[in-house]
Chains A and B, each alone.
Chain A
Amino acid sequence: MKYELVAGFETHVELATNTKIFCSCTTQFGGEPNTHCCPICIGLPGTLPKLNKRVVEYAIKAGLATNCEIAEISEMDRKNYCYPDLPKAYQISQFDRPLCNHGYIELSNGRKIRILRIHIEEDAGKLVHSRGSTLVDYNRGGVPLIEIVSEPDIRSIEEAREYVEKLQLIMRYIGVSDCKMQEGSMRCDVNISVRPVGSEKLGTRTEIKNMNSINFIAKAMEYEFNRQVDLIESGEKVVQETLRYDDVTNTTSGMRGKEDANDYRYFRDPDLVTINVPRSRVEEIAAELPELPAQKLKRYVEELELPEKDAQLLVKYRKVAEFFEKAAEGTKTPKTAANFIIGQIFRYVENEAEKEAMDIKVTAESLNELIKLIDNGKIRMNLAKSTLDKMLETGKKPSELISESDMAGLDENALAELCQKAVEANPNAVADYKNGKEKAIKAIVGFVMKNSRGKADAMAAEAKIKELIG
């Protein structure tokens, strides 16, 4: 029998605010333990939470960017459970009335992964287990999070990968999070079940907690899919449980059963008041949203006439897309800028983090200047390419690297002289050409180009050489 994977995601994204969700301590990553703390962070008796305005705004942005409805009225609830990393023994979250509801993310295969809800909540502190003891650091406690809960609409590991990548990209585009999975600012819980292909009924699901790498997610899902299929095929039952993925052994295992079954006793937090987001405010925030990756991709392909593959490479990182748009501005064909970026600049920003930062010596304005020199016939492509390499190395502007004489081109006499030299220096190629090897002429033209340092017009040189060889 063939089985199909059914998966849903709960994704925690840390919001890039300056301060924590309920107090004015910094959210900066790192820092000595317990140095980003105040009486509110450590839940001292008598302290009260005060909601950060920007958290609400960022969550609304995230909701709008994932096609959610923004609730006019939402509320904060307490999720009660006792654990040393949770200083109040409850997490302030949203249960009954989350800020965002019923959105979706569209995948490249046209399927929509529905988003059930997005709510705001506080992060917990950090526990370090060492030598049989536990150390507790509350620096991360109170850092704002959004939890994005999808419906179980994902049907393959490829879809899962794309869903997470899209989510990450969108959040980065709208600037609400850096979504650095390795630093934990984006983490995923995945619900997985399997069912025979064609069946409508959902199987028993397991939940793999807290994964912070897309590759791990893919591996864990694959392992878990196979494990569940094996269980069913051997007549056993899948047990509903929470699992942990071990990236060393590439296996999942049940988390140690806590003494108490989860009963979070949610109730409205009496210390916080209603969040009321009028329609007009939603419209204001919507107007502030930048163009989203999906819209950009469409525009690059349809309006800028880039090949889809190129367009995808460019929209994948917000800064790359911004760089491209500035570099291509006012140029004849946007494709030229795209080629320079994908062909040459990407050699300098190889990995994800580098592309994310786009920390290179060339500015988009300089590249734009260079492309305009080509457009205006001042320089040839070959010279432009070598100049860009130099720009990437030195950070200098095209005007600093290309001299007047470079841009002047070759006059007719100089070209004729150089072509004559080329013919004399390449007797073999001349002979080949005369014997009908049309391509042999390229070698002679190449000689001209090289010796003119790219200034010569290849077409004109070829015509001149043909004239000379007769």
Chain B
Amino acid sequence: MSESKIAGLHRMLENKEISCQELTQAYLDAMERDNGSLNAYVTATPESALETAAAVDEKLARGESIGLLEGIPMTLKDNISTDGIRTTCCSKILENYVPIYDATVWKLLRQQNAVLLGKTNMDEFAMGSSCENSCFGGAKNPHNVNHVAGGSSGGVASAVGGHLAVYGLGSDTGGSIRQPASFCGIVGMKPTYGAVSRYGLIAYASSFDQIGPITTNVEDAAIVFDAISAYDEMDSTSQGRQGEPVCRTLKNDIKGMKLGIAREYLDGVRDDVRQAVEQAAEVYRSLGAEIVFFDLPALKYALPVYYILACAEASSNLGRYDGIRYGYKAESYSDVNDMIKKTRSTGFGEEVKKRILLGTYVLSSGYYDAYYKKAQKLRGTLVSAFSDAFRSCDVILAPTVPMTAFENGHAVSDPVETYLTDICTVPVNITGLPGISVPCGYDAKGMPIGMQIIGNSFEEAKILNAAWQYENAARIYKPSDFGVKL
């Protein structure tokens, strides 16, 4: 497809080179054809998509101008609540759950006539790095369907990378936007905690969760971020975007910008991934930026801190699935307690149950101080370490994942080793900082490698600027063979 960027499609719609209904139909047809291979979508919403498209076409026919995201086909991860549209978190426990209200991000986009094609696959309750913990089976990598799309927002990454949506919104608790974006060779950004409202995002770990864009290119990420980063009175932790729209500074010169590389981020990273990041540093030097190296010893605490705190919050957040008000309910039981336990034991998958147990353990009496409280203090240590780092650099450069997308069913069996794949992504969730993953190369098998640019609090504009300059100079992105070809 020659045009898959938001601004380009917007021009085509405005110039009536294509109608919004034709555009939408093209995506719906591609979904029909390719979703069997990619398993990106778990729910398609063709009727409402075409309805919205028709409304946009009418506006255009009346000669009215349309917004940048108006009429652009997109998708939402299946943990973002959509009024009247099934939202499952890819869990049996919510298999038939239909929200009665809209998440704030969807409300914002719906008001702009975004065309929702459907809801996309994910690891159950966003817990996982492969998308294989989905009750619908995992989403596949559009660069090679024998490989996973990554997780937990694997469905969004697969759909966007496979051109079954122009863009999508995922959620990122420990890397769930950036990791699948990296695996699928596209762009994914986790905004600063508080920049985007969490209202309506089905919680995994409340102090880590953040919604963000998954797109094929940096400019689209900036456009979508500008559209969804608004203060929301429904979310007490919401602050909205601080400063002017990020699109305005996207293409600024980065001469003199200081990019920091922490040695600890490169430890244990596969050679080809490290080399790709080092080459990206060279590209930055050629653009007039400066590379500075520094130490970040606190990074060694990041993974245990993340798993302790995120699971503690999850154990509490997931307590509400008791079968009474919504979701799956056990068929036969002896009393209410038995009903609740049967519902939860059958409704939750293995990984979710494991994390609930771990979270309960670290909060239970006798263990709280050693685990939860200690982890909370080390979270403080990490916050100060990063804030110190930003005194000597503007942004931090790091790999997104220490490897590339693994083959289906090849997720490591050892639970701790599985968690280790999150080593490069969890620090920004712990510290609340913004991070973006952009493609920076391919491994020997042709699977994409991603790198991460991390910014200081509410400095999305800076990381997007750095990412755009690199993308424009390095030209790494290769579209997959799937999806819409106009």
Do any CB atoms of chain A lie under 8 A from CB atoms of chain B in the complex? yes
Q: Are A88 and B203 in contact (CB under 8 A)?
A: no
B200 at the interface (CB under 8 A from A): yes
Q: Are B363 and A272 in contact (CB under 8 A)?
A: no
Q: Are A45 and B97 in contact (CB under 8 A)?
A: yes
List the one stretch of B230-238, B241-249, B399-407 in contact with chain A: B230-238
B294 at the interface (CB under 8 A from A): no
Taking CB atoms, residues of chain B closer than 8 Å to A43 are: 320, 325
Taking CB atoms, residues of chain B closer than 8 Å to A263 are: 364-365
A70 to B338, CA, bound (A): 43
Taking CB atoms, residues of chain A closer than 8 Å to B316 are: 78, 80, 89-90, 265, 267
A39 to B103, CA, bound (A): 11
State how many angstroms separate the Cβ of A141 from the closest Cβ of chain B: 11
Known A82-B340, A270-B206; judge A46-B325 contact (CB<8 A). Answer: no
Taking CB atoms, residues of chain A closer than 8 Å to B360 are: 265
Q: Are B324 and A84 in contact (CB under 8 A)?
A: yes
B313 at the interface (CB under 8 A from A): yes
A273 at the interface (CB under 8 A from B): yes
A414 at the interface (CB under 8 A from B): no
Range for the number of chain B residues in contact with chain A: 35 or more
A382 at the interface (CB under 8 A from B): no
Q: Are A45 and B322 in contact (CB under 8 A)?
A: no
Binary A-proximity of B307-346 (CB < 8 A = 1, otherwise 0): 0000011011001101011100000000011001000000
Partner of B336, one of A39, A44, A89, A134: A134
B94 at the interface (CB under 8 A from A): yes
State how many angstroms separate the Cβ of B211 from the closest Cβ of chain A: 11
Known A265-B316, A273-B236; judge A46-B200 contact (CB<8 A). Answer: yes
Taking CB atoms, residues of chain A closer than 8 Å to B233 are: 50
A259 to B365, CA, bound (A): 17
B430 at the interface (CB under 8 A from A): no
B207 at the interface (CB under 8 A from A): yes
A438 at the interface (CB under 8 A from B): no
Taking CB atoms, residues of chain A closer than 8 Å to B365 are: 263, 265
Q: Are A271 and B320 in contact (CB under 8 A)?
A: no
State how many angstroms separate the Cβ of A366 from the closest Cβ of chain B: 48
Taking CB atoms, residues of chain A closer than 8 Å to B52 are: none
Known A39-B100, A50-B234, A80-B316; judge A87-B325 contact (CB<8 A). Answer: yes
Known A39-B100, A46-B199, A82-B322; judge A271-B363 contact (CB<8 A). Answer: no
B433 at the interface (CB under 8 A from A): no
Binary B-proximity of A42-84 (CB < 8 A = 1, otherwise 0): 1111111111000000000000000000000000001010101
A44 to B365, CA, bound (A): 28
Known A270-B207, A270-B313; judge A80-B234 contact (CB<8 A). Answer: no
Q: Are A45 and B202 in contact (CB under 8 A)?
A: yes
Taking CB atoms, residues of chain B closer than 8 Å to A440 are: none
A136 at the interface (CB under 8 A from B): yes
B143 at the interface (CB under 8 A from A): no
Q: Are B199 and A51 in contact (CB under 8 A)?
A: no
Known A44-B326, A45-B202, A273-B237; judge A267-B319 contact (CB<8 A). Answer: no
Q: Are B201 and A46 in contact (CB under 8 A)?
A: yes
Q: Are A45 and B337 in contact (CB under 8 A)?
A: no
Taking CB atoms, residues of chain A closer than 8 Å to B363 are: 80, 265-267
Taking CB atoms, residues of chain A closer than 8 Å to B207 are: 270
Q: Are A49 and B236 in contact (CB under 8 A)?
A: yes
B372 at the interface (CB under 8 A from A): yes
Known A39-B100, A44-B99, A78-B316; judge A50-B322 contact (CB<8 A). Answer: no
Q: In chain A, residues 262-282, which have Cβ atoms closer than 8 Å to a Cβ of chain B? A: 263, 265-267, 270-273
B101 at the interface (CB under 8 A from A): yes
Most buried by B among A46, A88, A270, A272: A46
State how many angstroms separate the Cβ of B197 from the closest Cβ of chain A: 9
User: Which residue of A is nearest B235, CB measured?
Assistant: A48
A365 to B201, CA, bound (A): 58
Taking CB atoms, residues of chain A closer than 8 Å to B325 are: 42-44, 87
Partner of B198, one of A48, A87, A90: A48
Q: Are A89 and B198 in contact (CB under 8 A)?
A: no
Taking CB atoms, residues of chain B closer than 8 Å to A42 are: 325
User: Which residue of B is nearest A132, CB measured?
Assistant: B335
A43 to B99, CA, bound (A): 12
Residues of A within 8 Å of B, CB-based: how many?
Answer: 30
Taking CB atoms, residues of chain B closer than 8 Å to A89 are: 316, 319-320, 322
Q: Are B99 and A46 in contact (CB under 8 A)?
A: yes
State how many angstroms separate the Cβ of B108 from the closest Cβ of chain A: 15
Q: In chain B, residues 199-242, which have Cβ atoms closer than 8 Å to a Cβ of chain A? A: 199-203, 205-207, 233-237
Q: Are B94 and A45 in contact (CB under 8 A)?
A: yes
Q: In chain B, residues 362-418, which have Cβ atoms closer than 8 Å to a Cβ of chain A? A: 363-365, 368, 372
State how many angstroms separate the Cβ of A130 from the closest Cβ of chain B: 14
State how many angstroms separate the Cβ of B6 from the closest Cβ of chain A: 26
User: Which residue of A is nearest B324, CB measured?
Assistant: A84
Partner of B89, one of A45, A48, A88, A267: A45
Most buried by B among A45, A46, A82: A45
Taking CB atoms, residues of chain B closer than 8 Å to A48 are: 198-199, 234-236
A87 to B322, CA, bound (A): 9
State how many angstroms separate the Cβ of B46 from the closest Cβ of chain A: 24
B19 at the interface (CB under 8 A from A): no
State how many angstroms separate the Cβ of A340 from the closest Cβ of chain B: 53
A44 to B320, CA, bound (A): 8
A84 to B320, CA, bound (A): 9
Known A43-B325, A267-B372; judge A84-B336 contact (CB<8 A). Answer: yes
B81 at the interface (CB under 8 A from A): yes
Q: In chain A, residues 420-461, which have Cβ atoms closer than 8 Å to a Cβ of chain B? A: none
User: Which residue of B is nearest A133, CB measured?
Assistant: B336
Binary B-proximity of A382-417 (CB < 8 A = 1, otherwise 0): 000000000000000000000000000000000000
A50 to B365, CA, bound (A): 29
Partner of A45, one of B203, B235, B315, B324: B203
Known A265-B363, A265-B364, A267-B312; judge A45-B320 contact (CB<8 A). Answer: yes
Binary A-proximity of B179-200 (CB < 8 A = 1, otherwise 0): 0000000000000000000111
Most buried by B among A39, A84, A267: A267
Taking CB atoms, residues of chain B closer than 8 Å to A267 are: 312-313, 316, 363, 368, 372
Taking CB atoms, residues of chain A closer than 8 Å to B206 are: 270-271
Q: In chain A, residues 18-50, which have Cβ atoms closer than 8 Å to a Cβ of chain B? A: 39, 42-50
User: Which residue of B is nearest A80, CB measured?
Assistant: B316
Taking CB atoms, residues of chain B closer than 8 Å to A136 are: 324
A173 to B199, CA, bound (A): 39
A43 to B319, CA, bound (A): 10
A42 to B198, CA, bound (A): 18
Known A45-B94, A48-B234, A50-B236; judge A39-B340 contact (CB<8 A). Answer: no
Taking CB atoms, residues of chain B closer than 8 Å to A46 are: 79-81, 99, 103, 198-203
A84 to B372, CA, bound (A): 27
Q: Are A45 and B81 in contact (CB under 8 A)?
A: yes
User: Which residue of A is nearest B80, CB measured?
Assistant: A46
Binary A-proximity of B73-89 (CB < 8 A = 1, otherwise 0): 00000011100000101
Known A42-B325, A82-B340, A84-B322; judge A271-B237 contact (CB<8 A). Answer: yes
User: Which residue of A is nearest B103, CB measured?
Assistant: A46
Known: A45-B202, A46-B203, A47-B200. 8 other contacts (CB 8 A): A45-B81, A49-B236, A50-B236, A80-B319, A82-B319, A134-B336, A270-B313, A271-B206
Q: Which residues of B contact A (CB under 8 A)?
A: 79-81, 87, 89, 94, 97, 99-101, 103, 198-203, 205-207, 233-237, 312-313, 315-316, 319-320, 322, 324-326, 336-337, 340, 360, 363-365, 368, 372
10 shortest interchain CB distances as A-B pairs = A89-B319, A270-B207, A265-B363, A270-B206, A45-B202, A46-B200, A46-B81, A46-B202, A43-B320, A39-B101
6 intermolecular pairs with C-beta atoms under 8 Å apart:
A44-B81, A44-B100, A46-B203, A49-B236, A265-B315, A267-B313
